[in-house]
A = this chain, B = another copy of it.
Amino acid sequence: MRIAELSQKTGVPVPTIKYYLREGLLPSGELTSPNQARYDDRHVQRLRLVRVLLDIGRLPIATIRELLTALDQPDPDVHSVLGSALPTTVTTRDAVDPASVVAAKVRVDGLVARRGWLVRSGAPARQATAEVLAAFEQVGADVADLLEQYADVAEQIAVHDLHFVGRASDAEGKLHAAVVGSILGDSLLAALRRLAQEHESAKMFGIRRDDC
């Protein structure tokens, strides 16, 4: 198909597709003349993946390029992507005081060690967790209990996630599932959590079904 049809199939405007091509997020089409290229279903799939990582995962372009490069390896290393290439969707920017993050990092390292989690000492998620803990403290919230409860829940989720990854038959499929599941999974969990919160809150504050 030509670029106009690729645009129509995916709903992505032509100039945006050209931008992704320039940024290396989408492989070039097959040249049929000096200024015309042909695209196929793999481009459609890749374009949809890029939109998801960009618009829902809100990942930086450079990070997406790295993930896609990993996906395109002939024998992708699923664990190293799950363990290191996959970013958290957490960014605290400059909302937290660096000194509190350093203190919180010690707590996170303690949690990981106590639970026997096999996580590299330099894993970016350690830092991300520390930043969120520091943010909680900064607004005066004591999250000691919540941290342990959430860690219990995170263990269950990770088992489901790895099962989701393991269902794919080949390494490329596993890696695709890892990337999609990790990034979209954060959003799915956040949305379901909000639904379940409304339900628990309705129970706590005595809201009846008729009032819903």
Question: How long is the Cα–Cα vector from A101 to B146 in the complex, in angstroms?
Answer: 33
A72-107 vs B, CB cutoff 8 Å, 1 = contact: the mask equals 000000110011001011111111010000000000
Q: Which 9 A-B pairs have the closest CB atoms?
A: A55-B95, A158-B196, A118-B202, A125-B194, A154-B192, A117-B199, A129-B191, A79-B205, A154-B196
Question: How long is the Cα–Cα vector from A188 to B117 in the complex, in angstroms?
Answer: 17
Question: How long is the Cα–Cα vector from A135 to B94 in the complex, in angstroms?
Answer: 30
Give the number of copies in the complex: 2
Residue of B nearest to A115 (CB): B199
Decide yes or no whether A1 CB sits under 8 A from chain B: no
Question: How long is the Cα–Cα vector from A161 to B199 in the complex, in angstroms?
Answer: 12
**Size band of the interface chain A makes with B:** 35 or more
Given contacts A52-B135, A151-B196, A195-B129, contact A146 B182 (CB under 8 A): no
B189:A150 contact, CB within 8 angstroms = yes
- Chain B's nearest CB lies how many Å from the CB of A50? 9
A141:B180 contact, CB within 8 angstroms = yes
In the bound complex, residues from chain B placing their C-beta under 8 Å from that of A40 are none
Given contacts A139-B48, A146-B164, A158-B193, contact A82 B201 (CB under 8 A): yes
Question: How long is the Cα–Cα vector from A175 to B198 in the complex, in angstroms?
Answer: 14
Given contacts A198-B117, A202-B118, A209-B118, contact A188 B136 (CB under 8 A): yes
B55:A93 contact, CB within 8 angstroms = yes
